Amino acid sequence: MQILPIPDAYKTPCGHPGRLESFPVPGFSTATVYLPADYDANGAYPVFYLLHGGGGNEHSFFSEDGELKNLLDHLIEDRRMAPLIVVAPTYYPDGTKEKTPGMSGIYVRDFIPVLMNTVVPLTDQRYATIPDREHRAVGGFSMGGVATWYALLNGTDVFYWFMPQSGDCWVCGEKGGGDHAEETAAILADAVRGKDFRVHAVTGDQDIAYPNLNPQMLAMEKHPDVFGGRVEYSVLPGGVHDYPTIRIYIFNALPGLFRA
């Protein structure tokens, strides 16, 4: 996929905006929810579960940079993308003090069962979702990307679409996609062999996670029986490790989700 810049108009408020709200997740603060313009409680919407970077929280994607909501509003208004719900929970348990990468790696791993068994059912109860895996995507930035790979390992019954953004798979340890690329790819392949799913991994060649994610993606190409036609990998020349850059990936890749 060619990664195009976000039009300037998409960085400003939309005339026909959606809205943000939240709901409690027991033990994990609240999840931030984006509802599209004209959200209809009797409608049927796909859901994108979006996980913040290390040290962040459920507000990171929507408030620290502010512009994600404008971007979603414009994509939907211009019909580049069908209306969808975005749910942004946090993987840090209430009261978490230590948000180092090492601890975060454990938190994101342990959060995936909470996401699948608590956050997804709460979302399906509260909102007019299409409650099947073909209409659920999970993605995240940095540690949220690490989380997304854990979701792929364990969650293909719940999710079909996976969008790891500038984060590698840590099943072989911290930054294991770089240090243990072949082993990581083999574990992922064994976990999802015979299953149907789609991965769109994105990063930039100046991103601090690139040296960890890129070897993993190259190693995954050696398992075409499992990943062929199911995994797409896009690299933005000059792309760095921050939320504004991640918004570019969301602009480009999110409209391709929920399409056969």
242 makes contact with ligand FER (CB under 6 A): no
103 makes contact with ligand FER (CB under 6 A): no
53 makes contact with ligand FER (CB under 6 A): yes
143 makes contact with ligand FER (CB under 6 A): yes
CA distance 54 to 77: 31
Handedness of CA 214, 215, 217, 222 (dihedral sign): positive
Per-position x/- string for 54-93, each x denoting binding to ligand FER as judged by CB under 6 A, each - no binding: xx--------------------------------------
Tell me the closest approach of the beta carbon of residue 136 to ligand FER, in angstroms.
23
Please choose, from the candidates 5, 2, 1, the residue with its C-alpha nearest in 3D space to the C-alpha of residue 251. Answer: 5
- Residue closest to ligand FER, measured at CB: 54
Nearer to ligand FER, 6 or 220 (CB): 220
Among 83, 167, 204, 239, contact with ligand FER (rule: CB under 6 A): 167
Nearer to ligand FER, 104 or 129 (CB): 104
168 makes contact with ligand FER (CB under 6 A): yes
Tell me the closest approach of the beta carbon of residue 168 to ligand FER, in angstroms.
4
51 makes contact with ligand FER (CB under 6 A): no
CA distance 193 to 255: 26
- Chain-centroid distance, C-alpha 225: 24
- Chain-centroid distance, C-alpha 179: 23
33 makes contact with ligand FER (CB under 6 A): no
Left if phi > 0, otherwise alpha if psi is -120 to 50, otherwise beta: which for 55? left
Cβ 101 vs Cβ 174: under 8 Å: yes
* Beta bridge partner(s), residue 34: 20, 86
Hey, what amino acid is at 141?
F
* Angle formed at CA 93 by CA 99 and CA 134, multiple of 5 degrees: 105
Q: Which residues bind ligand FER (CB under 6 A)?
A: 53-55, 101, 104, 142-143, 146, 167-168, 175, 208-209, 212-213
